[in-house]
């Protein structure tokens, strides 16, 4: 897979994340949990933002972002507009970072060991899968609460 294709996939799914959050007509429902979905859509969105800002923005792009993972799940009741701002900021930094990489960097070892040693390309695909996994949960959450 080429870097341009990876970049386009992140762009598409981050736009889908914004559309899913926007689709909540009642923004209080962003923060509800159910028996089927234990994390709220708001917390899942904040988690995705933190994950991508950390691993792509900070680790690969030297953005200076400092992740506060516990807050990704403890923060409650942010306005929908604030979540959308976070998603849009994340999309900008992810795309800027990916645009700054060289194709050859995909085959190099990711700068930090997360689960195990892996290439940057492998880890970017892992991060993409993580994004789409939680995006699907947000979609399900929104539909069962509609």
**Residues 50, 6: Cα–Cα separation, whole Å:** 19
Length of the chain: 146
What would the mean pLDDT of 64-82 be, rounded to a whole number?
96
The average pLDDT across 77-94 equals 98
Give dist(CA 39, CA 31) in Å, integer.
8
Domain ranges (residues) in the chain: 3-145
Instruction: State mean pLDDT over 27-51.
Output: 93
Per-residue DSSP letter, 109: B
Q: Would you state the pLDDT for residue 38? A: 87
User: Does the structure show a pLDDT above 90 at 137?
Assistant: yes
Averaged pLDDT for residues 75-88: 97
Interval 75-82 mean pLDDT? 97
Q: CA-CA distance, 55 to 61, in Å (whole number)? A: 9
User: What is the C-alpha separation between 101 and 146, in angstroms, rounded?
Assistant: 41
pLDDT, tens digit, 9 for 90 and up, residues 42-54: 999 999 999 999 9
**Class of domain 3-145 as given by CATH:** mainly alpha
Q: Which range, of 6-15, 31-40, 58-67, averages the lowest pLDDT? A: 31-40
Residue 36 has pLDDT above 90, yes or no: no
* CA atoms within a 13 Å half-sphere pointing along the CA-CB vector of 43: 16
CA torsion sign, 140 to 141 to 142 to 143?
A: positive
């Amino acid at each position: 897979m080429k870097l341009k294709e990876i970049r386009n996939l992140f762009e598409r799914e981050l736009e889908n994340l914004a559309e899913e959050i926007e689709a909540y007509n009642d923004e209080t429902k962003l923060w509800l949990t159910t028996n089927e979905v234990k994390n709220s859509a708001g917390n899942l969105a904040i988690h995705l933002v933190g994950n991508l800002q950390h691993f792509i923005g900070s680790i690969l792009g030297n953005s200076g972002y400092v992740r506060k993972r516990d807050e990704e799940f403890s923060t409650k009741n942010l306005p929908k507009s604030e979540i959308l701002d976070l998603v849009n900021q994340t999309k900008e930094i992810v795309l800027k970072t990916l645009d700054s990489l060289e194709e050859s960097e995909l085959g190099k070892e990711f700068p930090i060991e997360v689960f195990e040693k892996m290439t940057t390309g492998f880890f970017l695909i892992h991060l993409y899968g993580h994004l789409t996994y939680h995006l699907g949960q947000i979609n399900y959450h929104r539909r069962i609460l509609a």
